[in-house]
Amino acid sequence: MAQNFYWRMRGVDVNATIVGGMTQQDIDNQTEVMSEAVSGESFSRFLAIASQKPKGEITTLNLAKFLALVGAEGASLTDLGAGVSLFGARYSLAKSAPDGGNVHRKYTFTRGGIFPISIQAEHGAGNATLSATLVAVSSNGEITPMVISENVALPAGLDDTERFGLGKVTVAGQVYPGVTSATLNFGLGFETSGSGGDPYETLVELKTVQPTIVYQGMDLGWVGDVAAQTPVVGRAIAHADTSFYLRGRLKNGLFHPDGNSNHIKFTMSGLIVPSKIAGGQDKGTCELTATGAHDGTNNPLIMAVNVPIT
């Protein structure tokens, strides 16, 4: 049977705020089917669903807007109140805008957690991207934790006003030149669990927060025994002396001035070590890995959005 329309995933509703700049969205039911061959047979005669663990994956270019809503350690969907919803927008053939009216689909996660996973920023024309995971759990083990709603209207408020690029990197008080990429892994170890033989899990636990930042660059002078370098054995870092910025891009221009409050800042306490002292085929390359640790007062990674670069 022919189909005369198609679907596209739209902006994501995070507690009634629409986050745009989406480059990827996926919803996976993670169904575990029990299949067992018995009585000497090669095939199964009895199949059953053991569990379902609905999960969403998103990637966005609107980093500041997203991080302002969920933070560096994620957020409980219950605390968010309105939860998180993804939308399937219906388009008629050869149309540039979605169809009007209540003809779209909504996928709502109201209980569980939303967690930032990583940020990737590279020198050049590419924009920094942020990936995140939605984990859904049931209120009683039997009610599905992700609800699909048919024939709904698309929410208003979709925009796309942010882009970010690689910014200044400071390690132990020294600004490091020649940075070509930075990869921030938020290091959030979360786990779901259930009980009583129910098909859906009811708890989500944030078990570990172990962030890392990997810096790659073309200055082999990053590593050495001079005070401004990182020793082979590494060095301690603190929030007061170690930071990483994402520079806000200016629409129809280059970047916002450093003094404007359009940038994102991360600081970290812990340890930084050379993960690649020297290498490369064309240009020489170097790599440092910073691992966060609690300093007795502050969490390993501290984030601030909409700030100047200092």
- 267 found inside a domain: yes
- 139 found inside a domain: yes
| Distance separating the N- and C-terminal Cα atoms of the chain | 60
- 46 found inside a domain: no
pLDDT of the chain, 310 residues: tens digit per residue: 788 899 999 999 999 999 999 999 999 999 999 999 999 999 999 999 999 999 999 999 999 999 999 999 999 999 998 899 999 999 998 899 999 999 999 999 999 999 999 999 999 878 999 999 999 999 999 999 999 999 999 999 999 999 999 999 999 999 999 999 999 999 999 999 999 989 999 999 999 999 999 999 999 999 999 988 999 999 999 999 999 999 999 999 999 999 999 999 999 999 999 999 999 778 889 999 999 999 999 999 999 999 999 9
- 232 found inside a domain: yes
b/e per residue 267-283 (b: at least 16 CB within 10 A): bbbbebbbeeeeeeeee
Single pTM value for the model: 0.94
- 294 found inside a domain: yes
Q: How far is CA 32 from CA 40, 50, 144, in A?
A: 24, 6, 15
- 3 found inside a domain: no
- 38 found inside a domain: no
The boundaries of the domain holding residue 167 are 9-31+51-93+100-307
Quote the number of domains for the chain.
1
- 41 found inside a domain: no
Where on the phi/psi map is residue 125: left (φ > 0), alpha (ψ -120 to 50), or beta? alpha
